[in-house]
Amino acid sequence: MLFHYLQIGADAVLAAAPTPAPSVEVPDVSPVAPEGLSDFGSLFLGWMKWVLMIGGVAGLFASGIMMAVGRRNRSSLAADGAAGIPWVLGGLTLGAIGSTIVGAVLL
């Protein structure tokens, strides 16, 4: 019974509340590529992705070759090859999450 009276009171308060003024529309400011640049941008980013992939594979191959060749009597060459692996993996990781980082900073 008490709930019923509370509901009637709440309805009366909400009915007496003033209606808010119409809100101002906020313009959409999401980034849009200029006309004709979208296709070129996609092509350029595709090329950069392939360059990154080829560079990453070549870097890992070079590190592996340096480690294999430097195994005998050239331990500094093997150490340099092993030290290159984190740099290659770091570059590949940064390239893979680059669009996420840029999107987080700009948007």
- Domain presence at residue 46: no
At residue 37, the pLDDT reads 87
Alpha-carbon distances of 58 from 51, 71, 88, 98, rounded to whole Å: 10, 20, 9, 20
Report if residue 11 sits inside a domain: no
Average pLDDT rounded to a whole number, residues 57-85? 90
Domain holding 94, by residue range, is 56-107
Is 38 contained in some domain? no
What is the C-alpha separation between 107 and 105, in angstroms, rounded?
A: 6
Structural domains in the chain (count):
1
Mean pLDDT within 63-80: 87
Query: Do the domain assignments include residue 82?
Result: yes
pLDDT tens for each residue of 15-45: 666 766 667 777 777 777 788 888 898 899 8
Residue 38: predicted pLDDT: 85
Percent of the chain with pLDDT over 90: 39
* Ramachandran region, residue 36 (left: φ > 0; alpha: ψ -120 to 50; beta: rest): left
CA distance 81 to 69: 10
pTM: 0.62
- Point out the least confidently predicted range of 11-15, 56-60, 95-99: 11-15
pLDDT of 2 reads 67
Q: Is residue 10 part of a domain?
A: no
